[in-house]
Amino acid sequence: MLTYLSSLLQLAQSERMCTKASSLFIKKWNKKEPKFIEYFQNEWLNSHDCWYEGIKHLTPSTNNGLESNNRVIKDENTFRERLPLSKFKILTLEIVEKWSKSYERGLKQFHDKQTVTLDIWTNSCQWVKLNKSIVSTKLENEIEFYIPAGQELNISKSEIDVMKKMKWYSFDQYKAKAFNIWHVTLPMDEAKWLDGQCNCPGFFKKFMCKHVVGLAIRLNYC
């Protein structure tokens, strides 16, 4: 149970949110689970405090990419053998040269724009069909949108105010209200809609989500 509840802290979208939610989490469980709370404070708040999603936007949430490269090195180059340092150094230079030539010849490509996979397109089209009520505001260079999460179709200004000002007075309120509205921003220039951002967990994982694409569809940007 505590593992599940602490995982909700991992979804915090900013330092301010994580700090407040952690404080409410400790307040709720400090007397019931003092040993766990002591461990949690020492390990995950004092020693290692950069584990929540919103610590830095548009950076990987996992080390999957690194592990993927590691597997390629093992399967195609070292063949999972332990090599002497001198031999591994030579092999490393050969790997770098081979990968560099792959990019030079167009066999591999760097992506400097967000990509939209088939599953995101599909989910976005299904989301658009829900025809959810959306509150939008035009800013200087972008438009911000507030969208009801889950199965909800409508949101009120008071609910948006609770989300923006983080009006939670207990961890149960955080759990109930922190993730019932998503905040999306799209550039004013519709041609740059792929640079849109969202604070939903899906966007933090893939740098793209059904809310950004769905709004672009609804606005006829794509």
pLDDT, tens only, 182-207: 999 999 999 999 999 999 999 998 89
Cβ–Cβ contacts within 10 Å for residue 165, how many?
Answer: 8
Element (H or E) spanning 181, and its range?
strand 181-187
Q: Nearest-CA neighbor of 150 among 194, 219, 211, 204? A: 211
CA atoms within 13 A on the CB side of 212: 27
Q: How confident is the model at residue 62 (pLDDT cuts 50, 70, 90)?
A: confident
Instruction: Tell me the pairing of strands 197-198 and 135-138.
Output: unpaired
Alpha carbon distance 201, 211 (integer Å): 11
pLDDT of residue 221: 93
pLDDT of residue 68: 85
